[in-house]
Structure 1
Amino acid sequence: MIGFSSLEAPAGWPGQWCHLPLDVPQHPVDPTANGVLHWAPLDHPGYRERMRMMAEYLGSQLSVMITDTSAEVTLLSRLFGVRTVVMAMRGNRTDRTHRDAYDSASLIVTPWTAESAEPYWPRAWTDKTVYAGAISRFDHLAASPASIAADAAGASSSRKVLVLWGGGGTEVTEHDIHRARLATPAWEWTVRSPRNPSPDLWAELQAADVVVTHAGNNAVAELSAAARPAVVIAQARPFDEQHATARALRNAGVCTALENWPEPSDWPALLDTALAQGSSGWSRWRYGDGARRAAQAIEQLNNGALTCEPR
């Protein structure tokens, strides 16, 4: 197993790690190849070298390449005659480049369930899709059915709000969160972000009566494992990824999911509604073994024995 990334290898990585150079020139030249690709800047040594490094392995050592929806790497792998797996992302992926990547993939794995699938996907994609459900580092700690049932009945009395907010670009300011806190004096707020990380996120998730978070895939996956009542608020991202996630959460009846940060006066009712809705809806978002499902499908693809089924 070989990992390719510009980041350092994660702790405990079991295989080889190929550290790729950065590919972000200050003034990129024709990075979309006249609209054919998403990112392939001309004459940039970092981009050329990272593609050369991957090509070296693709030409000699790899039988399956798994990509994070990178169209360029997906197409490069397929051109080398290597089976490709796209780890899908929500949002509008109907542009030319995404269509080519998804069409050429040998397998698509989604971190969502068949019940919460993207409704616009063509049959050609769904026929080769494995629905893994949410994939969380906390899956092995997932909340018990008894605690989920208690939340749905409104058994909690601590009235605590945990805010999880990322650093990937946001319209929400500390002032916005402060105003929401002031508007809900009956609730105790804890705010976690890259600037103020949690010392024990799982414990804080379990202690919260309602979790407020953006609609990023990882944040929602962690929340689904903890199975907490929630208010999930979309932030602007390429291809409307977070807005699609919020819409899917809302349509599946999982939790309160919004398109924009609410006004302060809206927060008391929002928190009460989220608490009353409970957390049983998360069972429609996750199967509890997303990583195992994904790994099993990839192994079957590698062995030539994959049969895609909705569950």
Structure 2
Amino acid sequence: MIGYYVHHHGRGHLHRALSVAAATDTVVVGMSSLPRPREWSGPWLELPRDDEGATPVDVTARGRLHWVPELDRGLTARMAEISSWIAAVEPSLMVVDVSAEVSLLARLHGTPVVTMVLPGDRRDAAHDLVHSVARRIVGAWPADVTGMVTGLDAHRDRLTCVGGLSRFDGRPAPAPPAPDGRTVVVLTGLGDETSWDVDAARQQTPSWTWHVLGAGDAWVDDPWDVLCAADVVVTHGGQNAIAEVAAARRPAVVVPRPRPFREQDAMAAVLATDGRFPVTVCPELPQTGWDELLTRTAALDGSGWSAWNDGGGAGRLAEVICEELERVPAPARSSGTWS
């Protein structure tokens, strides 16, 4: 049995966990501040939030961690629940996507840890510590892509890149867009604090049909058919969004959002310079030139996304988990049930 921690910001971490859990025969216990998703087949531990207390105090422990507000009841209850679960179940492995604090907590209990690493600048003390104690570090981008993350030089012997992975991998695509179609889909994220204002873009492109998907009333749980019908997708630079656009094999305009550790900036820089991927990267949402931008991007070959996401990412991450489980001595491997 393994634990799988899912960060609650956005939905990308959850979608990745769903794909990986479906690709392994091991009992996977999900844990998150998110409610149990209906698609999750195994046990689920819903954790208290650690960001709803009073004004947080010293959240980084003087720069050594990422989120440990002093005297926060939610944080105390959250960590206590994880500790109690580890003590009761004795899991063979913990997969963490992502939290420096949960990774360290599991390791302090003697539980081996596999941690995901996100793009960006990860040279800070907390990332360096968690990458030091993890058995394996997993990046969800292709192994032959460079420049995605800084700060792993001392840990690259334990880094495995599995490629982009999407909840849509393996799903048959509907019929492609008509050759003369002019449809653009705007894909924002559930974790975005504000939506893009695309009114100016609409006004400049009267011959294009626009669909905006994102937070609030525009949220669509399953955007697969809409994505596949797009001639161009306009999206931010989050890993999940890029993986889903790649799975649909649609050309994209990528506009990175501000994120901690320059996560999306790193992603956008790689996509812009690699040369294999059907993208046009803009540092911010353009105010003019939309018709030319969309027409130029629509002409790119969407099949180039196969170099980013070949559909096997979840399976390769499941293989990493299985490899680490094989390293656990047989008497220590948990085999009981829990719910």
What TM-score range do you get, normalising by the shorter chain? Answer: 0.7 to 0.9
Greater mean deviation of Cα atoms: 198-207 or 35-44: 198-207
> Within 5 A, what are the aligned runs for 1:16-165?
16-24=43-51, 25-60=53-88, 61-117=90-146, 118=148, 120-141=150-171, 156-165=179-188
Aligned to 1:258: 282
List gaps (5 residues or longer) in structure 1: 306-311
| 2:314 partner SS | helix
Aligned to 2:21: none
- 1:220 paired residue among 225, 242, 257: 242
| 1:66 partner SS | strand
AA paired with 2:124?
A: D
Query: Retained in 2: the 8 A contact 1:5–1:18?
Result: yes
Aligned to 2:11: none
Total equivalences in the alignment: 295
Aligned to 1:308: none
AA paired with 1:193?
A: G
Greater mean deviation of Cα atoms: 284-293 or 199-208: 199-208
Query: In structure 2, what is the Cα distance between the partners aligned to 1:170 and 1:199?
Result: 18
Q: CA deviation at 1:89?
A: 0.8
Query: Retained in 2: the 8 A contact 1:5–1:20?
Result: yes
Query: Retained in 2: the 8 A contact 1:180–1:267?
Result: yes
Aligned to 1:7: 34
| 1:248 partner SS | helix
Query: In structure 1, what is the Cα distance between the partners aligned to 2:152 and 2:66?
Result: 21
Q: CA deviation at 1:38?
A: 0.8
List gaps (5 residues or longer) in structure 2: 1-27, 329-339
Aligned to 2:225: 203
| 1:140 partner SS | coil
Aligned to 2:263: 241
User: Are positions 1:283 and 2:306 aligned together?
Assistant: yes
Q: CA deviation at 1:208?
A: 0.9
Query: In structure 1, what is the Cα distance between the partners aligned to 2:149 and 2:160?
Result: 15
Aligned to 2:18: none
RMSD: 2.2
AA paired with 1:205?
A: L
Provide closer, same or farther for how the CA distance between residues 281 and 252 of structure 1 changes in structure 2, counting only shifts above 3 A: farther
Q: CA deviation at 1:156?
A: 2.3
Query: In structure 1, what is the Cα distance between the partners aligned to 2:292 and 2:301?
Result: 14
| 1:42 partner SS | coil
Aligned to 1:294: 317
Provide closer, same or farther for how the CA distance between residues 224 and 244 of structure 1 changes in structure 2, counting only shifts above 3 A: same
| 2:318 partner SS | helix
Query: Retained in 2: the 8 A contact 1:116–1:284?
Result: no
Provide closer, same or farther for how the CA distance between residues 27 and 197 of structure 1 changes in structure 2, counting only shifts above 3 A: closer
- 1:16-51 CA distance string (max 9 Å, x none): 211211112221122211111111111112111111
Structure 2 length normalisation: TM-score? 0.81
Q: CA deviation at 1:243?
A: 1.2
Greater mean deviation of Cα atoms: 162-171 or 18-27: 162-171
Aligned to 1:178: 199
Structure 1 length normalisation: TM-score? 0.88
Q: CA deviation at 1:142?
A: 5.5
Aligned to 1:309: none
